Structure 1
Amino acid sequence: MYEHILIPTDGSDTANVAVEHAVDLAAKYGAQLHALYVVDIDAVSFGLGTEQVDRITQGNFGEMTELQEKAERATGTVVSTAAEHDVDVHEEVRVGTPHKVIADYAEDNEVDVIVMGSHGRSGVRRALLGSVTERVLRSTHIPVFVVDERRE
């Protein structure tokens, strides 16, 4: 049923709750897990020059090693959790608008299901902060398994 499972991660506690579910699902079905970290170009570009933004967009983080380290920690958590269950993981770091990159990656890599965490925000907080998970749900026809961090 599932051959490729995508787990977008930002390394947060919410994402890590979803990682557990994605690894369990991958182990059950013998699926390959895709760990995707997206550098939100809109968030990091504030205050940067055009040249720096261009380098980051091309995956060259230069002096911004903290971005690369955060990405490696986030996908590394997926890899270490998956290793405990003998699940194969493909790690990927991309740059762009998170929900678009996630949806495009899923389409391009024949992903069968996307597993994502959700903070469970509602009302004004969600409207002000936005929701990557909600935007992914609206951007793809691929099933999205949403894990509420409050319901570990």
Structure 2
Amino acid sequence: MYERILVPTDGSDVAEAAVDHALDLAEKYDAEVHALYVVDIDSINLGLGTEQVDRLKQGRFDEMEEVKAKADEATGAVAARAAERGVEVVEHVSGGRPHKLIAEYAEDHDIGLIVMGSHGRAGVRRALLGSVTERTLRSTHVPVLVVDYLDED
């Protein structure tokens, strides 16, 4: 049913819950998992300047060690967990608006399913999806599985 499953990740607990589901489905359907980390250029410190923001948009993270390390850690964690299960993983890091890049990546790589976390909030706000998740749902025709996360603490 699914040949390629996209799991956007930022390394958070919410994203990790989605990774579990993505890997379970990948095992079941013998699918390849694509771990995508998007550096949100809108939330990056505005003090970076246009030259550094342009580098982020082009995927040039080598000069920004902290950003590169966080991205590699997030996608690497997916790859390590997938390797334990014998699931193939493609790691990718991009810079831009997350919902747009998730939708574009899904289309460009013939993704059959996107698995992503909800915002993970509790109470009244729990009924609302996170903004990236909601915008992704509106930006793509690829099925999206939204995994809820509730912090146990």
Mean alpha-carbon deviation: is it higher for 115-124 or for 16-25?
115-124
Counterpart CA distance in 2 for 1:126 and 1:40 is 24
Distance (Å, rounded) in 2 between the aligned partners of 1:118 and 1:124? 11
Matched, 1:108 2:108: yes
The alpha-carbon deviation at position 45 of structure 1 amounts to 4.8
Go from structure 1 to structure 2 and tell me whether the alpha carbon gap of 1:126 and 1:42 turns closer, same or farther (over 3 Å shift).
Answer: farther
Unpaired stretches in structure 2, ≥5 consecutive residues: none
Shift of 1:67: 0.3
Equivalences, count: 151
Cα offset, 1:51, TM superposition: 1.5
Q: Distance in 2 between matches of 1:102 and 1:123?
A: 27
Distance 2:62 2:9 in 1: 22
Structure 1: segments with no counterpart, 5+ residues: none
- Secondary structure of 2:47's counterpart equals coil
Q: Percent identity?
A: 64
- Counterpart for residue 147 of structure 2: 147
Secondary structure, in 3 states, of the residue corresponding to 2:116?
Answer: strand
- TM-score if structure 1 supplies the norm length? 0.90
- 1:34-78 C-alpha deviation (Å, 9 max, x unpaired): 000001011115112122222222222354210000000100110
Q: Residue by residue, what CA displacement relative to the aligned partner does 1:86-129 show, whole Å, maximum 9, x if unpaired?
A: 000000001110000000100111100000001244867998x9
In the other structure, the counterpart of 1:57 is 57
RMSD: 2.3
Q: Structure 1 residues 42, 126: CA separation in 2 closer, same or farther (over 3 Å shift)? A: farther
- Give the structure 2 partner of residue 71 of structure 1: 71
Q: Decide whether the 8 Å contact of 1:45 with 1:53 is kept in 2.
A: no
Aligned to 1:26: 26
Q: CA deviation at 1:19?
A: 0.3
Alpha-carbon separation, structure 1, partners of 2:68 and 2:100: 20
Give CA-to-partner distance per residue, 1:5-29, whole Å, 9 cap, x none: 0000011010001101100100100
